[in-house]
Each structure stands twice: as structure tokens, then as C-alpha cells.
Amino acid sequence: MSQYLPLVVLLALAVVFGILSFFASRLLAPRRPSSAKEAPYECGIVPSREPPERFPVSFYVVAMLFIMFDIEIIFLYPYAVNHSTLGFYGFWAILFFSVIFFATFVYEVARGGLDWGPMQRYRQLATDAAMVTPERTLASTVRRVGTEGREPESSSPSAA
């Protein structure tokens, strides 16, 4: 056990250093707060609003794909270096591993892991039918640009 003594000493030193510097900065440092010092960032754009709570997670799915390939290459690389000594046992093992890996890849792609852009939804027949009903008129489908929200002029009332 004695060979671990330096490790224990190092651990104790780290803890002592942490505690000492924590209290030393409290005792010794001058305290002159200003609004610039209190701000989250010292430079850059001034934050004016809370960040949105929900954000698209497409990149997270891509990161998952990356990790999958990453793990495969971690195992494939040592196998490729030693494939002659590992022989058929290694070959079948790595093939089996690759098949299972491929299954996860197929799963993710089939679940839309590579679909980008706005969310794709299956088209509903009901909405298609609504496109060709006789109720649709020029006034209900075409909106005149620029008339919304304007001050209504006295001479010509704005179109609906």
C-alpha cells in the first residue's frame, strides 16, 4: 500500500489548495462590484430576452448517428490491424457485431433520423378533399398583400 502514499498526499494537497484559495480570495480580494462585472458576459451582444425553452433536436439525432459509427470504427480499427492473427473467430465476431450495428442504423433511418427540414406528415385525404370543394372562392383563398393592419382610408374601405 505504501506506493500509493504520494497519491494520497497529492489528494490532500489538492483539497487543501482548493480550500485555501477559496478563503484567501474572500479575505484578500478587494470587492468593488459594477454593473459590467455583474453581467453574464463581459463583451458581446447584451442579452435582452430569455432563450427559448424548446428548440429542435435534429442535431441530437445526427450526434447519435455519429456515435454509432464512432463505436463501430473503434472496434473495426483494432480488428483490421490484427485480422490475420484473429483468424476466422475474429472475422465472425466482427461480422456479427456489424450486423447488429447495421440493425440500429436501419432503425434510426427508418424512424426518420435523416429527414431534414420541417416535419413531414402523412397527407390526410380530408385535407385533399377540402382543396377542391366548391366553397373555395377567390376571396377565401387569395389574400391581398399589404391590406392587413392598415389604417382604413375613408374613401375606399379596405377589402376583406
Alpha-carbon gap, residue 59 to 69, rounded angstroms: 15
103 touches another protein (CB under 8 A): yes
Q: Quick check: 108 and 61 in contact, CB under 8 A?
A: yes
Instruction: Provide the minimum distance between the beta carbon of 25 and another protein in the complex, in angstroms, as a whole number.
Output: 30
Among residues 53 and 135, whose Cβ is nearest to another protein?
Answer: 53
Chain residues 18-77 in contact with another protein, contact rule CB under 8 A: none
Q: Quick check: 116 and 58 in contact, CB under 8 A?
A: yes
Instruction: Provide the minimum distance between the beta carbon of 11 and another protein in the complex, in angstroms, as a whole number.
Output: 14
Residue 77-96 contact track with another protein, rule CB under 8 A, x = bound: ----xx--xxx-xx--x---
159 touches another protein (CB under 8 A): no
With contacts defined by CB under 8 A, name the span among 6-14, 58-66, 106-114, 131-139 that binds another protein. Answer: 106-114
Q: Which residues are within 8 A (CB) of 91 and not within 5 positions of it... i.e. 6 or more apart?
A: 83
Burial of 58 (0-12, 13-18, 19+ CB in 10 A): middle
* CA-based nearest residue to 72, from 45, 98, 40, 95: 98
Question: What residue ranges bind another protein (CB under 8 A)?
Answer: 1, 81-82, 85-87, 89-90, 93, 100, 103-104, 106-107, 110-111
